[in-house]
Structure 1
Amino acid sequence: MRDATLVTTLGRDPEQNDGIVNPPIQRASTILFPTMDALLAARPGPGVVNYGRYGTPTTFALEEAVATLEGAGGAVTVGSGKGAIVATLLALLQAGDHVLIADNVYQPTRHTADHLLKRMGVAVDYFDPLQPEQVEAGMRPETRIVYLESPGSLTFEVTDVKRVAEIAHARGALVVFDNTWATPLFFKPYEHGVDVTVHAATKYLGGHSDLMMGIVTSTPEIHPRLRQGVQDLGMSTSPEDCWLVLRALRTLEVRLQRHMESGIRIARWLQERPEVARVLHPALPEDPGHALWKRDFKGASGLFGLVLKPASRDAVAAMLNGMKLFGMGWSWGGYESLLIPTFPQTTRSATEWQTEGPCLRIHVGLEAIEDLIADLEAGFARLGAAA
């Protein structure tokens, strides 16, 4: 079945729930067993109700749905996107290991690597996401993971995931991929050699800016290690939040189509603005990553970047402070539009980020595009008046 059908059917079974279309929210801590043998035989695992921290049928329904949608061998939920990153790295790494990380990753990923991993004796190096040969040059006998995010969530470079996976696998390393931007609908990671994906389900999978969740998917061989790692860390997720993400899945395909269409229209409009030096959006033919994006991705979400021509901090503040529809907030992927300043030059170590002027990150929501453009036009007028 196609994705539009899968998102409406996965994770529900009316025949098992008295004909009810949506699965119920099942909350639990203690699970009772009918006999001592059943109690002692029960082991936590996918679909096994053993103790509330390991999940309930609501949790398992979401995990099965996301794993199927992404083409994975299994999935496990945790309390946040950052939790998904931490759980994955701690489950798959130990003291003495080495990890290679793309230089454009989400800042909390870099923070985890530079602090938590190094403290536990894991060596960390970064590489240019546009130079797969740097992965080959950086591999060591003890390299266990190559970690990718494509497009990067601030600067939106597109990495040749297939080539990186070939290099990593030839040396016995796993490829971990952050698929939050594209979601399982717009990028199929396991068709490109990825072994593990992390998602901030807080973003598009949740879609309504009202929950925190992370999801990790993997190949069948790796899934038991990841689930055990989550259990070792004592991570769990709320059945209510799992139910909300299940409900949000039903509209994921139509939401993403709207985010993509509106995002591309606004990106093209921004290209014509005299205040804008360049737009960072891989779906635009002029973008350096467009050919790879077109080869590997099925679509684009509503998140992209732009570089302004030289402008003062006060002028940028005047623009952003007066926005009516574009809010300022650190998340994205909800129905509402967002616009924030970004500073990629402060989070690089293997590459140098140079721009003509200030950088902004925009998330195009589900509002009427004409109203969003009017809001941006007024913002540019304030930017010019304050220059």
Structure 2
Amino acid sequence: MDATKLIHHPYQAPGGFQAVVPGVHKASTVIFENTAALKTRQWKDKSGYTYGLHGTPTTFVLEERLATLEGGLQTLLAPSGLSALALVNMACLRAGDDVLIPDNAYAPNKDFARGELAQWGISHRFYDPMDATALAGMITERTRLLWLEAAGSVTLEFPDLLGLLNVARAHPKLVTALDNTWGAGLAFDAFDLDLPDKGGSRGVDISVHALTKYPSGGGDVLMGSVTTRDEHLHLQMKMTHMRLGLGVGANDAELVLRGLPSLPLRYAAHDAATRQIAQWLSTRPEVSRVLHPALPASPGHAHWAQLCKAAGGLVSVVFDGARYSPERVDAFVDALRLFKIGYSWGGPMSLVVPYGLRGMRQFGELAGQADGTLVRFAIGLEEVSDLLADLEQALSALA
């Protein structure tokens, strides 16, 4: 058998093939028809293909669909949600700049500021996301990036997004970036928020999404995205993206593409189940507090009600440390059978993680609370009655 004939086989499949699911194109090397194409073909505007890292038909399709989902115009893919957050930081900030991060942001984003950004001469400060007035006094001529997160990580406070953005718009050089993983592009439109004081609708500059969660829907893929509406800002992100060598595998892109059509249905199911469970948890004497944006007593509920149509699949509860030790709360978590212990959310299986409250927040109602344990539940797609029965039997472990 001639190896050359196997490698350079003349057969080309006919064009025109279409199916429900987009094709999976895998490539590092992309073949050019001639040297003129090699020298002139452009990848920055998606008019052609030059190298697998810069895009294939599969990744281009995913990027375009995600841009539509989030209400943006351009999207870049990253290997994880955290790498997407890091990309925004590195593309927007230089030595001597300052970044403001909400107190209740995703902890690894805060750690990136404490570690890498600090080493590069970039300062950071944490602000109270519920107090837009206080934010106004923190922005300086060095502040170049304002992070937003809705709802807050773990504690699920819903920030005063409109107030925070109204403050930010008074500073034209300030870029606003939202971690929009919780909202999934469905709870609210991050790029089209009503800002009446500015004479029209305007939202964030950048929306970052951990596609690992709801868009994937299977708990089996890591990916992130960065979506923008401004062409110049997009190119700024894209060039940093290229220089860092960020890329995603075709099979991972395939998994997210497969999950996108059912995303609205799954998100609605997570949302409906979580509201039922949050209401039930509110009636339990063992629970000191239930944190869920759709509950009137949850921090930021009025801000959520002003903007949102849904509340996703996360709910957290607080157990009073004077009544229940961390060991007893751990026993409750260990006693759960359907809820599995693990990070992340958005998949079919319900998950649970306990967190110590000591030092968790600088601002807000949980600040300074040294005692107690917070337990976050990620509600999956099981029958709600089965999940409630599991919670009820496990609560007996607190006795």
TM-score normalised per structure 2: 0.89
Distance 2:74 2:20 in 1: 24
Secondary structure of residue in 1 paired with 2:75: strand
Secondary structure of residue in 2 paired with 1:342: strand
Q: Which runs of 5+ in 2 are unaligned?
A: 1-14, 194-202
Deviations 1:205-257 (A, max 9, x none): 11110000011101223111111111111110011111111110111011011
- Matched with 1:337 is 350
Residue 185 of structure 1: how far off its partner (Å): 1.2
Residue 159 of structure 1 pairs with residue 169 of structure 2? no
Out of 301, 320, 323, the position equivalent to 2:333 is 320
Secondary structure of residue in 2 paired with 1:138: coil
- Matched with 2:243 is 232
Contact 1:187-1:297 at 8 Å conserved across structures: yes
- Name whichever of 340-349 and 242-251 sits farther off: 340-349
Distance 1:381 1:272 in 2: 15
Distance 2:16 2:337 in 1: 44
Matches within 5 A, 1:1-387: 18-47=17-46, 48-172=48-172, 173-192=174-193, 193-221=203-231, 222-309=233-320, 310-349=323-362, 352-354=367-369, 357-384=372-399
Contact 1:334-1:365 at 8 Å conserved across structures: yes
Residue 349 of structure 1: how far off its partner (Å): 4.3
Distance 2:243 2:251 in 1: 23
* Residues 1:217 and 1:272: Cα distance change in structure 2 (over 3 Å): same
Deviations 1:254-288 (A, max 9, x none): 10111000000000000000100110001112323
Contact 2:157-2:298 at 8 Å conserved across structures: no
Q: What stretches of structure 1 move > 4 A for 4+ residues in a row?
A: none
Residue 145 of structure 1: how far off its partner (Å): 0.8
Count of equivalent residues: 369
Distance 2:293 2:277 in 1: 14
Contact 2:30-2:50 at 8 Å conserved across structures: yes
Secondary structure of residue in 2 paired with 1:275: coil
Letter matched to residue 205 of structure 1 = P
Distance 1:113 1:43 in 2: 34
* Residues 1:100 and 1:344: Cα distance change in structure 2 (over 3 Å): farther
Contact 2:178-2:207 at 8 Å conserved across structures: yes
Contact 1:304-1:363 at 8 Å conserved across structures: yes
Contact 1:81-1:212 at 8 Å conserved across structures: yes
| Identical positions, percent | 38
- Name whichever of 47-56 and 82-91 sits farther off: 47-56
- Matched with 2:198 is none
Residue 308 of structure 1: how far off its partner (Å): 1.4
Residue 322 of structure 1: how far off its partner (Å): 2.0
Secondary structure of residue in 2 paired with 1:360: strand
Residue 346 of structure 1: how far off its partner (Å): 3.3
Distance 2:346 2:125 in 1: 29
Secondary structure of residue in 1 paired with 2:359: helix
Contact 2:217-2:259 at 8 Å conserved across structures: yes
* Residues 1:152 and 1:299: Cα distance change in structure 2 (over 3 Å): same
Residue 342 of structure 1: how far off its partner (Å): 1.5
Distance 2:370 2:316 in 1: 12
Contact 1:345-1:354 at 8 Å conserved across structures: yes
Distance 2:144 2:213 in 1: 28
* Residues 1:72 and 1:353: Cα distance change in structure 2 (over 3 Å): farther
- Matched with 1:13 is none
Contact 1:155-1:344 at 8 Å conserved across structures: no
Distance 1:204 1:284 in 2: 22
* Residues 1:140 and 1:123: Cα distance change in structure 2 (over 3 Å): same
* Residues 1:353 and 1:238: Cα distance change in structure 2 (over 3 Å): farther
Contact 1:107-1:347 at 8 Å conserved across structures: no
Residue 350 of structure 1: how far off its partner (Å): 5.4
Residue 347 of structure 1: how far off its partner (Å): 4.1
- Matched with 1:10 is none
Residue 45 of structure 1: how far off its partner (Å): 1.9
TM-score normalised per structure 1: 0.92
Distance 2:262 2:187 in 1: 14
Contact 1:46-1:60 at 8 Å conserved across structures: no
- Matched with 1:11 is none
* Residues 1:143 and 1:320: Cα distance change in structure 2 (over 3 Å): same
Letter matched to residue 385 of structure 2 = E
Secondary structure of residue in 1 paired with 2:94: coil
